[in-house]
Structure 1
């Protein structure tokens, strides 16, 4: 068995944060590698200690604070919340600021295009040549039938489709980009309303007979519909910037080992 990797000592002003404490914290910081998760955990614990030290320096006391779900905060969490409420101030975003953001980023505030979809799935494993050939033949036969009698789509779906949508006559409802496998979606989005695709569409699930329904193109959402979301986003972004600067200032006045806190030197400290 390979030896456990050795990590540098992590400390704030000479006080070490125990490796076991860092290891326990990593569960809250999912990452691509164990090293990245540990680094994120160590940084989070260092920031927490910097904030608690500052709360001590300012004699911050907090009681009876709760989180967003109404659960009581621990004493340390409450003191950190009280410290940030006193020290990290950000301006409120007004309607004029929100309107400027809306006008500058109009593409972000569009409803996605939607198209209604109906399909009949003839299930077959692509690796099974015989089964796939039979499914292809059945799907082509269904298309020929529907070209002559389009009103029977729901009946054929209920009789033949391997998809649970058969109970709704093959109806998948309104589809937005990214909701379906790419092969299916590419064909569906290219169809005119109420058009039947003339050949079966192959996916990993089998062969699909696809018909498009009503289409609704993307459209701009009015400012009034998104103003609250914009204001909340701007205020959250402002708070995050202020928080990063505040932590950077605290880190710049502390002696840290084993971690590097963004903003601990350079423009944020200035």
Structure 2
């Protein structure tokens, strides 16, 4: 591919986008134009750091106000909720290609019936029967949140009202599980003060990205570029 910016040939790495290479060359040339960089400099790290200095100097990005952050917080409530948690234990009867599945299920059902009658034996039976490393800790999985486990296991854990030793086996791709839900910690919405900085950083990142696109568009509108099409504008007010 032949790529040039204002008559300057631009090399494009095998795994790089030509648009990125052209934009970088535009910025390098602008840095030379405003006296931040000597045109003879070839050191890539020096060029990159100078481009950063150029953007800091010429691309202004306002800091989001508290009102803007609060508006984002109110409009996106689910983004700032701590997830539900459960403390859970399990005993896994693992199913492998060599396993007699009906026999394994029967063994798991027998163990479940025993535990429903004698729940205090859970830790001992986990150590004896479970094919999961957690068996060594009495089957303890610790705190589990949504997304931590495979969907079929998660569905059983977070089923409304599920607590204690579940009365049915939970079947997953790994086998049959006896599951105990020991404690639930409902999720809650995080206070605005806790997430304000996070919101401000997110909004500032969006503004910076838009401002950078606009800046490169203006440079592209004033340049002669061959080999790639960059969005170009002669106006600094491009949207």
TM-score by length of 1: 0.79
Match of 2:146 in 1: 177
Q: Unmatched 5+ residue regions in structure 1?
A: 1-7, 27-37, 63-72
2: CA distance between counterparts of 1:213 and 1:76?
Answer: 58
Match of 2:41 in 1: none
2: CA distance between counterparts of 1:138 and 1:100?
Answer: 56
Cα-to-partner distance string for 1:68-93 (whole Å, 9 max, x where unaligned)? xxxxx822112211211110011112
Q: Map of 1:81-92 to 2, 5 A cutoff?
A: 81-92=52-63
Cα-to-partner distance string for 1:140-176 (whole Å, 9 max, x where unaligned)? 0111001100111111111111111112211111111
Q: CA deviation at 1:134?
A: 2.5
Aligned residues: 233
The 10-residue stretch of structure 1 (210-219 or 47-56) with the greater mean CA deviation from structure 2: 210-219
Determine if contact 2:37/2:47 at 8 Å carries over to the other structure. Answer: no
Q: Which of 222, 225, 240 is the matching residue for 2:209? A: 240
Match of 1:109 in 2: 80
1:211 aligns with 2:180: yes
Q: Unmatched 5+ residue regions in structure 2?
A: 39-43
Q: Which of 77, 95, 117 is the matching residue for 1:124? A: 95
Post-superposition, which runs of at least 4 consecutive aligned residues in structure 1 deviate over 4 A? 265-268
Q: Which of 26, 36, 58 is the matching residue for 1:60? A: 36
Cα-to-partner distance string for 1:208-246 (whole Å, 9 max, x where unaligned)? 111112112221110111111111111111111111111
Determine if contact 1:114/1:216 at 8 Å carries over to the other structure. Answer: yes
Q: Map of 1:143-158 to 2, 5 A cutoff?
A: 143-158=112-127
Q: CA deviation at 1:193?
A: 5.0
SS at match of 1:121: strand
Cα-to-partner distance string for 1:159-213 (whole Å, 9 max, x where unaligned)? 1111111122111111111111111111111163533222322222111111112
Q: CA deviation at 1:259?
A: 2.1
Q: Which of 5, 17, 22 is the matching residue for 1:46? A: 22
1:9 aligns with 2:9: no
Match of 1:264 in 2: 232
Determine if contact 1:93/1:235 at 8 Å carries over to the other structure. Answer: yes
SS at match of 1:202: strand
TM-score by length of 2: 0.89
Match of 1:35 in 2: none
2: CA distance between counterparts of 1:235 and 1:10?
Answer: 33
Looking at both structures, which has the greater relative contact order when contacts are Cα pairs under 8 Å and sequence separation is at least 6?
2
